[in-house]
Structure formats: C-alpha cells, structure tokens
Structure 1
Amino acid sequence: MLEGGDPLVSQTRYEAELTTESGTVIATASSRDGVLVDWPFPALESRQVGRLRVRCETSDERWTDWSPPIDLVAGLLDAADWIAQLVSPSSLGTLEDGAPFVFGSFDLPELPVAARLYASAQGIYEAQLNGVRIGADIFAPGWTAYEHRLQYQSYDVSGLLVRGSNRLGAALGNGWYRGQLVYKGNRESYGNRLAFLAQLELDFADGSRRIIGTDASWRACETGILFDDFYDGERRDLRLPMGPQPQGAEAVELLPLDAARLVARRGPAVRETGRISAETMTVTESGRVLVDFGQNVVGWAEVTVRAQAPGTEVTIRHAEVLEGGELARRPLRTAQATCTYLLVGGQEEILRPTFTYNGFRYVDISGVEVDDLVSVTAVVLGTDLERIGWLETSDPLLNRLHANVVWSARGNFLDLPTDCPQRDERLGWTGDIQVFAPTANFLFDTSGFLAGWLEDLAAEQGPRGEVPYIVPDVLRAEYTDAPGWGDAAVVVPWELYRAFGDRDVLRRQYPSMAAWVRRIADQADSDGVWNAQGPFGDWLDPTAPPDDPARAQADQAVVATAYFARSARMMAQTARVLGEVADADEFDMLAARIAHGFERRFVSEDGRVRSDCQTVYALALVGELITDDRARAAAGRRLIDLVVEADYRVATGFLGTPVILDGIAKAGRPDVAYRMLTETGVPSWLYAVTMGATTTWERWDSMLPDGSVNPGAMTSFNHYAYGAVADWMHRTIGGITSLEAAYRRFEVRPFFAQELEHASARHRCPLGDIRVGWRRESSTIHLTVEVPRGTEAFVHAPGASEAHRVGPGRHTWSGPATPG
C-alpha cells in the first residue's frame, strides 16, 4: 500500500548566472539535466574571479529560488603564468640530512586587497608566512606521476601579511619524491633534490598586481627534523627551530622547471579528519607504555608529555595488532614505523611528526613513564572526502563489518587509493581499486579523487596500452598484463560515470580505456579467449599457501576472459554514451565474441566451468557468459553446492570475492548469499570481526584463530579489497541500485532477510538524498523510500509482484514478511 508521495514534478529548464568584473551574464537552457552540465559561459581565464548561482523552472511552471552563490577563482591555467623558479638548498637536504627550510623576504609598504599563494614542491612541503602555517593541507603537493603531472596548491593568504617586512618559507620533507618506496634502500625514485616553488600574487586597491616568486635570493637552513621517511618514521630534535634561521643560512640553487607539468588538483587534499583518544595505557613486560586506541587508523600519534630533563629521548613505535602482549611488528616487513623525539625539557611538550604517517591501532612509548603522559591521541589523516553513503542493520556484526570497510577506505584513500598504510608498500595498486570502486563511490564523493588518479594511470600507460600494476608507477617493471589489475583502466572511469554522471571523465579517459581493451584483443585467440598467465590471478585465494599468494583454484584463462568480456562490454557502453557509434559497434561485437568463446571453451554441457570453484561460477553467472538455459541453471546449482559443501565459507580471492554473493543470488538463492555473508568461521567476512578487527584485512586469516599473526609476508590488517562486499550490502540489504548514471533512475529491491529485524541505507547522489528503510513487525514488513527531486525509483515493495514507479517524495508500503 502506497501512502503519500509527491507528483512527478521535474525540471524543464534552468538559468545560470555568472558575475565577474565584466558584469553579470545569465545563460538559460531548456533541459531536464541537472548534473554536471556543460559550462554555459566563455571559459574563465587564469586568476579570473567570479560568482555563480543557479535556479530552475519545474514542470508545473514555477521557478525555484536562486541557489546560494558559489565564489570561483580560476587557477594558473597556462605554463606562461608562472614566473617563480624551483629553489633547492645548495648542500642541505641531501639523503643523509633532515628536512631543510627554504625562505625569502619581501617588504610591503601597503597591504593588498587580495593575496593568493600558489605553491608546489619536489618532495612534500609545509609552508608558513610570517611564522604562521599556511592552510590545513598535509603532504602537499601529493603524489602524482611526477614526470608528467605535478600538482600545485592555491591559498588565500590575505590575513597573514603585514606592513613592512614579511617572510615566506617552507619546510621540505622527502615524501614520495625521494623517500623510500617499494623496497629497502630504494630512495630517489624521482630524484635526489628537494625543491620548493612558490608564487605570491598581490592585488592592490589601485588595480596593480605584484608577483613575488621563489628565486635566487631565497636561502635555506636546517630544521629540527633530523630524518623523515614514510616507511621508517621521523626523528626530531625539539630544541631546534622549525622556521627560518637567517644566521648560518645558505644560498639556494635554481633547478629546471617544466611549468607545463603543473596542474591543479581535482580532488580534496590530505587533511586531519578526526581524533581518537587512547582507550587504555598499560606497561608491557619489556617496560614500554602500550597504548590501545581501540580503532585501527592511519595518521599520527600525538603525545603530550610532562616536563622532562633536557635532551630526554622519547621513542614511539606503531603496529596494527599485538602478539604475546607486545606490538606485532613483523607484518611491517622492513618499515620501522618509529618516531623519535629529543625534548627541550623543563616544560610540557607535544610530540607529533610532520613528514611521515603510519597505520596503527597500538603504539608503544619508551623514554618516559606512564605517569609522564598527559594525553595520547591518534590524529586521523586521509584525503578529506565527503561521506555520502551509510548502511545500518539490526545485526551488530554486520554493522561492524560495514564500519571496518569505511575505516579501511578512509585510511587507504590518502592522496591516492593505496593498498595498505602500514608496511613498506603503500602503493596505488590498480587491482585493489578496480574491485572496490563501486563501494567507494557509494560511501564517499570520490569524483575528483579518483578522476585525478585516473589521469596518472593514463600518463603512466605504455605506448601499446599496457597498464602498470601500480599508479604512480615506481616499479617501472617490464609488465605482464594482469587481468583485473589492468582492467582498472576501464572499470574505474565507468563506475565513476555511473555514480556521478560525469561524461568528461569518460572523454578524458577514453583513449586509455580503449587502448587497454584493444591491447588485450590483440592477445586473445580467435574465440576471444585471453589465455593470460599474469602474476596475480585470483590473488590471495584462501587455499593459497602463505608463501605463494598467487596459487589459486580458479583457472587464470577463465578469470582473464571473464574480466576481458566485462571490460569490452563497458567500452561499448562508454562509446555509446560519448556518441562513438562505430566504436560502440566494434566493442559490442568483441564482447559478444568473448562471451561465445568463454561458453564454448570453458563451459561443459552440464554447466561445469573449468576449474570448478566458486570464483569461476560467480564470474560466469554475473557476467552472463552462459547463454544456454540448462547449462546456466546447472552452473548455478553447482555454485550453490560448492558454497554449501564449504559450510558457507568463502573460497575466493581478490577477483572472485566482489562477485561471489551476486553469483549466488543470480543462481536464485539470495538466502544462501546472505548466509555466506553472516558466516563467522574462517574464511569469512565476519571471522575478522569476531577476532576484533576494526578494519578490513588483506587475508581472510591475517590473524589465525589462536591469535597469532599469519606467517605470510603479505599480512596487512588494513586492506580494503575484500571490503568490496559492502557494494552487495548496499544494493541487497539496503536495496539501492543505480539504473542510470547519477541515480537519475534507481531500483529499490531490499532482501528482507529473516534474520534481520530492520535495515536502512542512505546515499547522497548528485541530485539529493536517497533513503531506504525497512522494519519487521511480526508477519509484516514496513518499507519507506525517499526519492530526491530529479530522479525516479522502481520499488519492489513487500508482497508486490511488480515494481512501483514513483517520483520525488516519501513513500511507504506494508506487506507480508517474506524474503525478497
């Protein structure tokens, strides 16, 4: 039964108003589109300032109010806009030294009406003006494919200037540019010279502009940071200053700069996103103070200590789990993850690093007693993404699982999508984000974050379409094409478009997408079968031994061909969206040939799929690669049998896990899929939850049932790949599935699991909030759906045989409590 709900009122046209120094212009368009429409005005020029607002007319001939105005400032869009030069210390800041500080001075007879700083670096920087830190960005300018793209930041610094003498400067850390990456001793991945670039632009009341840039007049000095590295940590002498020291400063050298590499960032910066106080502090048998924050996080340990003797050395080590009551440090491999501080003494002091970060739930502290600690706080760092998706159920274990997925994404989305945040790796693995992209896009506004990373992927892509395993590519290896990893070139932009409706991301990435698919097409045989023997396969299959994570049950050619078919199909859809009709036909035919070849080569008449394991059946069913009705039904039954025989435990690795529950549901048994989701024995998603996990693990059994750490070298306790299951939870328990880009049309079809009393999901799509909630009362299910303006929903209500098509508003139904 439907109650309430608004009529199908929609937008018919809109007006956009732009005000600049030249005046106000209004552009009108007759269009129902309200998501990422084309800019209706002439392109802004470098430094141009404007104010934008919009309103729309609805189908009942009413105009909305004008939106609140948005202030716009165009960045430096041309290489010729840059007059600043890269400055590097002449002798300081070599690999053996700590973080240098570079600075310059200038006089201001009068204050400007506007002041904007544009800055970047080789390495990472923390800038200050007149002793005050500029902005809240951390690890700027971030990690990109530096040879091709170097990001710059823009800051309004009007309030930091003074009449008379001013001093601008920055401390420089190694970061990704020349810090250790991939393996021990591998430094100088991009170069061995740290450098800073700054351009301060001052606008005065008389209309004049003054530009002050880094140049040969700048100088450099040492700081109290004696050593910094993302893997190993930081060593700091708090007795030494962190700012400019004119006495003893040295000249800088000018380094060559290709200003064409400079780009503005597309997504948010890394910032402090939360703070967690210590839950417990105890003393271990080794005499260290052990701190438990109760949550595995990524960031800094901030420790405030009472007054100590001058020169007291305090050491803080980090780890994700404990073993034998002490930090389990073996999973860090060669990473030291240690911060050391030499205290000023005689006063309360705050210990916190600047140019490193760690993944940790626990720290241990030596050099002071527990009574010397005033406070210990975990400072949470990550790309400052807006949260847009939520799920809650009556099952606390499922809620914890979902929270773990969110925390792993928060920690690993640190300037780029990394695999893990704690050991000597922390790299942008393509396979991980490929499987996780739908989940990420539901939970967070990743539109700019992943779009920027994709530009690096395209920049790093080889001349014949080969896609690196990691982006940015510091491996620089001779690549064997990896199914599921290289497919990120196609899957991630397509999923971004589906979530946010941005055609431009498809336009920008189209050459990259097509190059990958055509590369694999050249390698496939006449049936479209890709006989790949890549290095990963169904990575970390639970049957794989700890020392051989690539040894999977699933046949590599089956997995590769299934992924190839999906990418070809996505390419056809992308080409159609962009109006590339000939390409769409080409990729449609390719996808059909691959599917036919898959069925002919890998599927027997009785529905058995080569290698007969959970992954291959799930890929075949979800990819609709079995067209024969009897064979498809038999394959579905075989998948169910495998799951039941395994006591509902998971038997898939990185590439099978994202599709296993959908495969079971495609076989007609969503109840079995839900039963697998809620299994607590190892391997399962909830096993980690029952073992106290607060983030998603890399292995199903990163910690063994006896509480010891898995002996494998790849044993992270914060890896988001298996968290891809949250996408199924959002669509099936929460019931929200997008049918059209940006959720202009979406389906609501919750599975009313008998074990749940209630569930709710919310997603802030580009057009507004979608809310779905259901609860069980005796033999009745009550369902509530909220539909935002500009969208329509197809709702499968409890007990209904057909979907209800509804428009904007709040709708409720009640019906018999049978599973969905």
Structure 2
Amino acid sequence: MAEISISQVAFEHHREPLGIGEAKPRISWRFHGDASNWTQGGYSVEVQRDSEPELFHFNSSNSVLVPWPTVALSSSESATVRVRAYGQGDLPDTPWSDAVTVETGLFSKEDWSRAIMMGTEKKTEKNATHQPIHFLHQFSTNSTIEKARLYITAYGLYEAYINGNRVGNNVLAPGWQSYNHSHVYNTYDVTDLLQTGNNAIGIHVGEGWYAGRLGFFQGGTRNIWGDALGAMALLVIWTPTGKQVVNSYWGWVASRSGPLITAELYNGEVYDPRLEQTGWSSPDYRWRNDTNWLGNRELSTPYDQLVAPDGPPIRRVQEVQLQEILTSPTGKTILDFGQNLVGWLRLKVKGPSGTRIKLVHTEVLDHGEVATRPLRTATQTDEIILGEEPQTWEAAFTYKGFRYVQVENWPIEDTPLDEDAVVAVVVHSDLEEIGTFECSNPLINKLHHNIRWSMKGNFMSVPTDCPQRDERLGWTGDSHAFSPSANFLYDTSGFWRGWLRDLRSEQVKGVPPLVVPSVPGTGPPVATAIWGDAVVVNAWNTYLSSGDLDILREQYVGAKEWIDTGIPRNEDGLWDRNAFQLGDWLDPLSPPDDPGQATTSSSYVADAYLVYVTGLVGKMASELGLEDDRLHYEESVTNLKAAFREAWMSPEGRVAYETQTGLVLPLYFDLFKDGDEAVNASRRLQKIIEDNDYLVGTGFAGTHLLGLALSKYSLSETFYKMLLQTKVPSWLYQVKMNATTTWERWDSLLEDGSLNPGEMTSFNHYAVGSVANWIHQVIGGLAPVDPGWKTFKVQPIPGGNLTWAKTSYLSPYGKIYVEWSVDDTGFNLDLEVPPNTSAFVTLPRDTKNIRRVGSGKYHYSVAGFHL
C-alpha cells in the first residue's frame, strides 16, 4: 500500500531552530513515501505557545517556505509546530508530523539587558599575537531552574563554560563575519548545566579572525576589526517566580595569562598545562587575592551589528584515524592520516614535565619531508609543553589543512605514538549532506569523494579558497564557480544567505571586494569580472536550489548596483579595457610565476560574463515581478551581445580567441548570432579538444562551464573523454597522483612527485571541483527546472564506458533517486520522485519524447541500447 508522511519540518534555512533571528519564520516540510502522483491540495499548521494550540488551514499546494500563520514571536519565545498535508482530490492525507520547537533569539538592544562587550584591564598587545583571555563570573541561583539560555559572542573566538562544563559543541565560534556590519551571537540551552545554589560562568577568548593576522600582502594585516579581545554574554534563567539575568558587566574578572600562550589561525597554538588554573570556571574556584586575575573594562558594544546566525556553526564533524608512521630521509617522524583534511589533532600523552612536543602540519611531502613551502608565511605549527600529569589536548582557536604531521620530541618511552595517542579531528560548517553520487568507474568516484572533502575543508563559516597557507579567505570568484556543485552536495541555503548579506554590506559604490569579509591584506577593492559577478551569480544559484525568493529580494539591489554603477565601461557598454582583470586565472598554460597570464584575453572573458550576469539580473527582476527592470535588462543584453560580436567576432562567427575558454563562454552564454554559428563553433571547440589529446585547457573562467557547454551541443562524449583523461592537465591526473582533495593548480604536484615551483600550490581548492555540477547533471541526470526543485529533469547521458550510476538528492520536498545501468538488454532506469513534485524524464536515443511524471517509483528501459 502506498504511503505518504511528513519526514521533516523546518524553519527558514535553520538546521537547528534555536535562537533564530526571524520573528515570523517561514515553514517548510519534506515528504516521505511512494504514493503515486501525490500532490498537496492543502495543509494545516498547529502552533502551540503557552496557551491553547492554534490551528490554521490553507488551501495551497505550497510546502516550502510558507508564511508563519499567526502573530510574530517575541524575543526568546518558543513555539511548538506540527504540520499535516492533505492530498489533492481523493489522494490520501498525511498524518500529523512530529512536533518541532522553534525559538527566537534576541531582537533588540534592550533584550540584551545591558550586557556589555567586556575586555581586560591588561594592556593589549601591539603588532603581535594576542594571548587568549579567560573571563569569569560566579553567582547564585536560589530557585528551581526551569529553563536557561546563554546568548554569547566575542571580539575574537570564544569557548564558554558553566560550572566547569563546556557549553555546546560549536568550535571557532561565533565564526567569521564582516564584523562592522553583522556580528553573530549564538544561543545555547544550558538548563542542564546550572544548579540551584552557587554557579560560575567562564569564557575563553582567542584572537581568531577578528584581531588575528589575515592576508598575504606585506605579511598580512592584524587587528582589522579591533585590537582588543572581548566577550559578551547574557545568561537568562527562568524560575517558577520569574527570570534571573546574569550579564557581562564590570563585575566579572579576567585573567592576566593562562596556559594557552598563543593561538593564531595561520601559525597554530603554544600550550603549557603547567600554567593551567585548574577548575577556573567552577563555582568554588578561589580567584580573589590571586594576582593573575584582573578587573575588566567596557569595550564598544556592537548592539547595532548583533545578529542571529543564518547558517550552521562550525563543529567537530568526524575523526580520522592515523594510517601510518613514516620516517623521512633526514630521520624525522611523520604521521600520515591518509586524507587531506581540515581541523586539528587531539593528543593523549604523558611524559617528562617540560617536554616540548612540536607538530608541523602540511598537505604533502616533498622528497619524503613535510612540504612547508606551499604554506608561504603560515607555519601551521602547534607546540605542547607537558606537565606532571597525563595530558589530553586539542586546539581551541586555530585550524590547519593537512594530511601529514611532523612530530618532534614525542616522549616515546612513556607514550607509544599510535592511533590511541593521536587522532585527527575534522571541523567545518555543520551543513546537512543532501547529495550523493556513485558510478561504475572507481576513479570518478574517487574524484567525487575528493571534491566533497575540498568543500568540507573550505566551508568554514565563509567559503574560503584554501585552508592551509596565509590566505583562507572568502574569494568570491572561487565560490562563483563552485556554488552549483556545493548546492547539490549540501544544504547551503542558510550558509549562502549569511555570506551574501555580508557581500552586499561590503559593496562600495556597487563594487564587491574580491574577498568577503573584506581584508586589507589582499590589496585594495577593485572591480573585476567573475569575482565581482558573484553578487549576482551566487544569489541566483542559491535561489535555484532553495526556491527562496527572499534571498533574491535581499540581493537584488546589490546585483543592480554592480551592473549599473560598479562595472567600469567603455563607450560600447562593455568593460573598460584598462580595468584590472583576473581573467581565466590558472589557465593550464600560465607560467608558475604568473597565474593570471592566460591564453584567452581577460577583457574578452570579462565581456562575455557581463552579458551573462546582465541577463541574470533580468531574470531576478522577472522573478520579483519588476517588469520595467526586466525589460530594461533584456534590452541591455541584446545591445551587449551585439557589442560583444562587434568587438570580438568576425562576420563569419569566429571569435578572437579560438581557445577552449574562448569558445566555451560564447557557447554557454548564447553569444553567437544564430544556431548555425553556434554549432560550427562547437565543432571547432571539439576539434581543439581532440587536438589537445582531450586535456583541459581552461582556467577559473572556463572550467566550471566546459562540460555544460559541450553537453548543450550534444558533445557529452567529448567531455567524457576529457573527464577520463589521466595525464596532466586533467581531473583524474590528481587522482592518479593519490590526491584526496582537489588542487588549486592542475599540476600542483608535478609528474615526478615534486612540487610545482609557483606560489599557488594549494592541495585543497574546490574551484576545479566545479566539474561535479556536470557529473550530477549529465552522469547522474539530475537538475532543477523550477527554483527549489518543485519540478526537475531526469536526463542521464551514458558515456565514457560507464555501465551504471546512482545519484540521490534530498530536495526541499523529499528524496530524489536515480539509478541507471547498461547491460546486455539495453538501458535501464529506476527513478523515485518525491511527493508534491514532478519530473521531466528523457531517455537516451529518445530525446524528443519527454515524459512528465508525478511522485512515485518508476522503471524505464531502452532495448538494444549499448555504449
């Protein structure tokens, strides 16, 4: 018997709806079940507050981001919600969903009850690392505790403790934001950590992104947003008689020093447990008359910038066991974890007091030694000094990108160096995994595995370029290229919403910075194509995957400003030829010392993207119902296409740069005059690729569109040959070289195993992993038709001698599953369509017969099909 139920109820894009920033959060629900052709005709929402539950009925097929049905929630208010959906006509109804509780955070300055951002009386460090600080406050609660919430943030990164116990499981909190515009605070349920009687709250703060060194020009920049570490907290305790409020104010104390000597993002930590103040955050800790404790002072409190998070926090997500212990040619001990990852080590060690263990983290080996040159000025080195007692240690305010760790001075006589003593802890933004892919070719599976790992390591509160060297910045161009792949692999909607809000806030005269948050250590803000275009493209891609019109609405003004005023133009409306461009960055033929020297003109690339993003702004206007804007931008696209052809094409339709990127862009962006010109250009592109032995010839501008452009012109088999190539430059070259993440350069590691001599040699960059978008759409056969996957297409294109593939995607409506195989009988396809959606199915060799199907399970076959 067919079943239908609601598997999840969610609010806005929050994975955990505690302390959210929306007073009227929109509600979504996913379905589970195999009911055939099931569509929703209506739904009911029950909202339970302190009074009797309210019940609301709606005749609507909408089940994603539907409006909050009742009066707005106030600060710190919770409501329990459950949903029931009704089948259209005679279709069955769902049972009531499980009840889910949503709770708001703090909406105003007054809600913070005069909590301040407190610093220490200790003189702040100048042009040097800030030593982490402990803040402490002891208090009493003389009543039964019914509920307690901690609202907290910091100037820097914090860890909070109540009565000696760690609060929550966030790490590197509150993450990284454009602090001048949005300063995130976190909300924790701390009911179970408090006790009737004496209590204590402690906060440990390190410099993090807020005051630490960032960027690479002239050694980077310190104290970008402030030069003093601080903490801000509000603890609210509900009792039978009312509320007790404990806030950060002048009555707290701060430590002069502590066991964490230094904690830097690029350089790691130095930790000495002999300086530990045991039990410092417990209620019976005696700090009075201890000269290590000082008074505090009030810093400027960012009331106007305080916001609840849009995306999930950074957390410990998994652990990776030690795989092998190596001895280098010079006799050094090196740990190999078998996976290039992002996070830190956890040690369990005992040895002679004063022993100074040194841990140097790198991504690769160079002639058997740890390769530190790609780190540039970052050291990624931790030092742990042992005390009298056995020590369990892991980092607090730093992270590294590494596979290998060189260990010095390990007390081997007291503690065996093995998997019990050392484990790698993987950390990243705790996104929900929603997309999977697997096929008959193990090398492609490994590539896809590597792409996922590079995404995990670089989605660290913001979308960074790399996790290891003196950079780790929110480069807009990288995220532009990778966002469609990211949106399939994980639920990134809240993550992008927060980052895009920061991007919008950082625009100056319409120009977005190259990195968001903006960092002076990367140079002055400058308008450049692809990177600046992220203000349009990333918003549009997020809308496609989520269906959230509010994200478009929030970003539309910034997108318009970029197109209308941010881009410097010539008299034809194209890019000013003197404008700075990064162009087809890291073209495979670019020399190691000049990654921007591409075979395709950067001005040509910029103009092609200008036509594309102008069209996207027109689409945004159309979705938002702004008819005058839509007509304006559509006319602008027509004029820009004509200007592009005049500037860069011959009358016969040949482009000025007959390269892979030079042809991919006008093919994908529809810049040719007519279909014949485009088909002829696609054949020339095919010939260029064949003559290049199916090796990649594109950089940042062309790589993410290469496969899509070929498939658009029925040349998927050509791209299969490129994808399966194992010589450099290719995707599988990296796999053959034992990569476990995707690289920045096609040849970050040369064929002889030596390092590329250039500076740009990260071994964990997600940009070239943008090929996953083609893998999901063409091999997997899945792509949205309507924003938010209300309708989607299923059109796998077998090739490359693959005999089967399996792809799944957990859409806003429920799980989509596609599995196909080719055997002696022909082509076989199994499909699962979630309730309240429909799919357009196209089978190989039957492309003119498009079947539209509703929810349910389907099997199709094409007899006699063979590869």
TM-score range, shorter chain: over 0.9
Match among 221, 235, 238 for residue 200 of structure 1? 235
Does the CA contact (< 8 Å) of 1:130 and 1:167 recur in 2? yes
User: Residues 563-574 of structure 1: matches in 2 within 5 Å?
Assistant: 563-574=609-620
Return the offset for 1:519: 2.2
Secondary structure of the residue aligned to 1:743 is coil
User: Residues 399-548 of structure 1: matches in 2 within 5 Å?
Assistant: 399-462=445-508, 464-475=509-520, 477-519=523-565, 523-526=569-572, 528=574, 531=577, 533-548=579-594
Does the CA contact (< 8 Å) of 1:640 and 1:667 recur in 2? no
**Partner residue in 1 for 2:79:** 50
**Partner residue in 2 for 1:71:** 101
**Partner residue in 2 for 1:699:** 745
Does the CA contact (< 8 Å) of 1:270 and 1:382 recur in 2? yes
Asked if 1:117 is matched to 2:150, the reply is yes
Secondary structure of the residue aligned to 2:244 is strand
Distance 1:514 1:114 in 2: 46
Deviation string 1:595-640 (CA, Å, 9 cap, x unpaired) is: 2222232222333211211002111111111132332122111101
Structure 2 unaligned spans of 5+: 1-32
Return the offset for 1:530: 5.8
Distance 1:257 1:354 in 2: 24
Asked if 1:214 is matched to 2:235, the reply is no
Does the CA contact (< 8 Å) of 2:211 and 2:226 recur in 1? yes
Does the CA contact (< 8 Å) of 1:393 and 1:759 recur in 2? yes
Does the CA contact (< 8 Å) of 2:129 and 2:212 recur in 1? no
Asked if 1:645 is matched to 2:688, the reply is no
Distance 2:309 2:193 in 1: 24
Deviation string 1:731-751 (CA, Å, 9 cap, x unpaired) is: 000000111011111111111
Secondary structure of the residue aligned to 2:131 is coil
Secondary structure of the residue aligned to 1:362 is strand
Does the CA contact (< 8 Å) of 2:822 and 2:865 recur in 1? no
Return the offset for 1:97: 5.1
Return the offset for 1:818: 4.2
**Partner residue in 1 for 2:399:** 357
Match among 347, 358, 361 for residue 315 of structure 1? 358
**Partner residue in 1 for 2:374:** 331
**Partner residue in 2 for 1:758:** 804
Q: 1:570 to 1:108 in 2, by over 3 A?
A: same
Secondary structure of the residue aligned to 1:656 is helix
Deviation string 1:355-393 (CA, Å, 9 cap, x unpaired) is: 110000000111115563242211000000010001101
Distance 1:530 1:625 in 2: 19
TM-score if structure 2 supplies the norm length? Answer: 0.91
Deviation string 1:110-167 (CA, Å, 9 cap, x unpaired) is: 2321110100000000010111010001111111111111000001111111222211
Deviation string 1:29-62 (CA, Å, 9 cap, x unpaired) is: 2211111122222221111121111111111344
User: Residues 587-606 of structure 1: matches in 2 within 5 Å?
Assistant: 587-606=633-652
Deviation string 1:321-353 (CA, Å, 9 cap, x unpaired) is: 0011110000000001000011013x4322321
Distance 1:27 1:6 in 2: 25
**Partner residue in 1 for 2:56:** 27
Secondary structure of the residue aligned to 1:741 is coil
Distance 1:601 1:527 in 2: 11
User: Residues 779-790 of structure 1: matches in 2 within 5 Å?
Assistant: 779-790=825-836
Distance 2:631 2:693 in 1: 44
Distance 2:75 2:830 in 1: 48
Deviates more, 1:112-121 or 1:621-630: 621-630
Does the CA contact (< 8 Å) of 1:540 and 1:653 recur in 2? yes
Return the offset for 1:584: 1.2
Letter paired with 1:340? E
Q: 1:438 to 1:530 in 2, by over 3 A?
A: farther
Asked if 1:253 is matched to 2:288, the reply is no
Return the offset for 1:109: 1.3
Figure out how many residues of one structure are paired with residues of the other and give that number: 813
User: Residues 38-437 of structure 1: matches in 2 within 5 Å?
Assistant: 38-61=67-90, 62-82=92-112, 83-91=114-122, 94=125, 95=128, 98-183=131-216, 184=219, 186-206=221-241, 208-221=242-255, 222-241=257-276, 243-244=280-281, 246=287, 247-248=290-291, 249-305=293-349, 307-345=350-388, 347-368=389-410, 372-373=416-417, 374-437=420-483
Deviates more, 1:240-249 or 1:805-814: 240-249
Deviation string 1:479-516 (CA, Å, 9 cap, x unpaired) is: 33110000110111111111011111111111111111
Distance 1:185 1:775 in 2: 52
Distance 1:759 1:796 in 2: 16
Distance 1:389 1:659 in 2: 20
Return the offset for 1:725: 0.4
Return the offset for 1:185: 5.6
Deviation string 1:564-586 (CA, Å, 9 cap, x unpaired) is: 11111111111111111111111
Secondary structure of the residue aligned to 1:235 is strand
Secondary structure of the residue aligned to 2:240 is coil
Q: 1:191 to 1:5 in 2, by over 3 A?
A: closer
**Partner residue in 1 for 2:712:** 666
Return the offset for 1:524: 4.8
Letter paired with 1:79? K
Return the offset for 1:528: 4.5
Return the offset for 1:239: 1.7
Return the offset for 1:96: 5.1
Q: 1:595 to 1:185 in 2, by over 3 A?
A: closer
Does the CA contact (< 8 Å) of 1:798 and 1:813 recur in 2? no
Asked if 1:808 is matched to 2:850, the reply is no
Deviation string 1:703-741 (CA, Å, 9 cap, x unpaired) is: 000000001111100000000000000000000011101
Letter paired with 1:358? K
Does the CA contact (< 8 Å) of 1:127 and 1:134 recur in 2? yes
Does the CA contact (< 8 Å) of 1:782 and 1:813 recur in 2? yes
Deviation string 1:433-492 (CA, Å, 9 cap, x unpaired) is: 011010000000001011100011011111x20110000001284433110000110111
Does the CA contact (< 8 Å) of 1:531 and 1:556 recur in 2? no
Return the offset for 1:671: 0.6
Return the offset for 1:686: 0.6
Distance 1:488 1:673 in 2: 26
Letter paired with 1:359? G
Say what the alpha-carbon RMSD is for the aligned residues. 1.8
Does the CA contact (< 8 Å) of 2:115 and 2:232 recur in 1? yes
Deviates more, 1:9-18 or 1:380-389: 9-18
Does the CA contact (< 8 Å) of 1:50 and 1:72 recur in 2? yes
Distance 2:444 2:742 in 1: 13
Return the offset for 1:754: 5.0
TM-score if structure 1 supplies the norm length? Answer: 0.97
Letter paired with 1:341? I
Deviates more, 1:519-528 or 1:591-600: 519-528
Share of identical aligned residues, percent?
Answer: 38
Distance 1:73 1:629 in 2: 55
Distance 2:804 2:796 in 1: 11
**Partner residue in 1 for 2:22:** none
Secondary structure of the residue aligned to 1:655 is helix
Deviation string 1:380-415 (CA, Å, 9 cap, x unpaired) is: 000000100011010010001000100000000011
Return the offset for 1:27: 2.3
